[in-house]
Amino acid sequence: MLDKFFRKQPPKAEPPKGQQAARPEVNYDPGLIAALTQQHRDLTVLLVKASSAAQQGLYDEVRQALEDFKYSLAEHMLRESSQLHPYLTAHLKGEDSREVLRDMRTNFVRIEQSVDGFLSHYGGYPVGDVNVERFLIEIEGVSEEFCGEIEREEAAFYTLYMSRESY
């Protein structure tokens, strides 16, 4: 049994120096943009739900809506980074393609940062009678910023996602 443990394992194949391993091909998904856009709508509804619950003093519902938002946003961003970004990186061509891809990644980070601090704060200091007014002001600002970023994302980047033949 221990002889298997101490046997020399064959080295893993690595690409030659100066070359990167080939990325697996990301296939076109005709329903991706509709799914991502629906996730945007669902995320926006969760922010409205948290705000509405806070106005009504339903603080457990606020906590749950923020948790749902946090996990749904992480799922959404994972889908974008594993499907949308690699596909556009592989297929988008032209003079401005690098700049567009950089803008897309910058927007991605901006969305993440715009809500991360907010969610971290209210995850550690849940909404209650003491801080509800501050929360309502902050969630309004976060919601406006988030909605502005997703509108930009849908108008500028989602429209670039097309079948391979369309490029």
Q: pLDDT tens for residues 79-137?
A: 999 999 999 999 988 888 889 889 888 888 888 887 899 999 999 999 999 999 999 99
Tens digits of per-residue pLDDT, 130-156? 999 999 999 999 999 999 989 999 999
Residue 115 domain flag: yes
Q: Which residues have a Cβ under 8 Å from the Cβ of 109 and sit 6 or more positions away?
A: none
**Least confident residue range of 4-8, 54-58, 78-82:** 4-8
Residue 7's alpha-carbon distances to 1, 12, 14, 105, 118, in angstroms, are: 11, 15, 21, 45, 52
Residue 125 domain flag: yes
Residue 4 domain flag: no
pLDDT score of 2: 44
pLDDT score of 4: 46
Residue 60 domain flag: yes
Question: Taking the mean position of all CA atoms in its chain, how far away is CA 80?
Answer: 6
Q: How many angstroms separate the first and last alpha carbons of the chain?
A: 56
Residue 74's alpha-carbon distances to 81, 94, 115, 142, in angstroms, are: 10, 31, 11, 16
Residue 97 domain flag: yes
- Domain of residue 74: give its range: 30-160
Residue 161, phi then psi, degrees to nearest 5:
-85, 110
Residue 91 domain flag: yes
What percentage of the chain has pLDDT greater than the value 70? Answer: 86
How many domains does the chain contain in total? 1
Residue 40 domain flag: yes
Residue 10 domain flag: no
